[in-house]
Amino acid sequence: MPEGYDCEPNGPIKGGEWWRLGWIPFCRDGGGNHLCVDLDLVDGGEAGQVTGAWHDMAGRDLISTSLTDFIEIIATDAAAGSLVWDEEMGGVYEAQET
């Protein structure tokens, strides 16, 4: 990893490196951005928390405290109609106002 490519954690996420082997990607947007299960914890972090890793930004955000909580958020949003399947893109996206 070249020098100067550190991440900026927003929450209980380990910083100091752009990417860590303990960040296991499980969801991507096709543009280099990922949601990851975080297994490389710092004090205050929770095993299995979900973090966001954006390819062009140093920020690493806490998305939810567990994969289970993340799935519950998705299920709630889908039931409320705020998520839709986009056939052309082949994925689930936030519903857009028309």
CA atoms within 13 A on the CB side of 58: 9
Section 10-27 average pLDDT = 91
Residue type at 56 in one-letter notation: D
Burial class (CB in 10 A: 0-12, 13-18, 19+), 13: buried
Spatial separation of the C-alpha atoms in residues 59 and 14, rounded to whole Å: 11
Section 59-65 average pLDDT = 94
Helix (H/G/I), strand (E/B), else coil: 76: helix
User: pLDDT band at 55, cuts 50/70/90?
Assistant: confident
Higher pLDDT residue, 6 or 79?
A: 79
Higher pLDDT residue, 5 or 42?
A: 42
- Which tokens in the block code for residue 10? 């927003």
